[in-house]
């Protein structure tokens, strides 16, 4: 199985300090949906791992989150793409859960769901916590320079072996060229 794990906000769609609370606030980054469609068409299993503390903060509810993801899936389908699973951590930073990145719980759940080891699985994010969670789970961390990515790169302290790409489309181009 060719599995890839993607963060959502700042990687696939525009991020917001005010949180993405409604489908009208969800806007894909240029080329991101096309990149996911290319992965899907190349036979990859695609999973999303996303912290969504806005749920715990009461900024939106599960229905709004489902509506956001339906908008994403519909836009992706028009390009011939599909996401196999979306995993979210609904907890806040002080909830002491195991699924909130930088902890690897979401990644481990994805591995269990697809009954596969995560060693070497590319995992693309824009924040240090994305990279830390993926590296701890055994994935190959990829940092995109969209969302918080430039700020993350500037701060440094990236996990060993972190790959860097301009954006999701650039990362997918590199991954697909390395796996053919």
Residue 61 is among the residues annotated as catalytic for this protein: no
Taken in order of first residue, the domains within the chain and their CATH numbers are 3-178 (3.40.50.1000)
pLDDT in tens, 94-103: 999 999 999 9
> What integer best gives the mean pLDDT of the chain?
97
Sign, CA torsion 141/153/158/21? negative
Residue 15 is among the residues annotated as catalytic for this protein: no
- Which pLDDT score, from 0 to 100, does residue 180 have? 67
CA dist 5 and 45 (Å) reads 9
- For the segment 138-160, the average pLDDT, to the nearest whole number, is 97
Token output for 171:
């990362």
3 membership: H or E segment, kind and range = strand 3-6
CA dist 43 and 7 (Å) reads 19
pLDDT in tens, 111-133: 999 999 999 999 999 999 999 99
């Amino acid at each position: 199985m060719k599995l890839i794990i993607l963060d959502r906000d700042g990687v696939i769609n525009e991020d917001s300090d005010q949180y993405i609370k409604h489908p009208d606030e969800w806007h894909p980054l240029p080329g991101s949906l096309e990149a996911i469609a290319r992965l899907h068409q190349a036979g990859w299993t695609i999973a999303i791992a996303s912290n969504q503390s806005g749920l715990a903060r009461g900024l939106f509810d599960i229905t709004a989150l489902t509506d956001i993801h339906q908008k994403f899936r519909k836009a992706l389908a028009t390009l011939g793409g599909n996401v196999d699973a979306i995993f979210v951590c609904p907890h806040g930073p002080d909830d002491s859960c195991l699924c909130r990145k930088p902890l690897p719980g979401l990644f481990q759940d994805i591995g269990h769901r697809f009954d596969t080891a995560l060693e070497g699985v590319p995992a693309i994010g824009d924040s240090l916590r994305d990279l830390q969670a993926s590296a701890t789970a055994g994935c190959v961390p990829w940092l995109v320079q969209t969302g918080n990515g430039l700020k993350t790169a500037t701060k440094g302290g990236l996990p060993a072996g972190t790959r860097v790409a301009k954006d999701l489309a650039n990362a997918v181009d590199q991954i697909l060229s390395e796996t053919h």
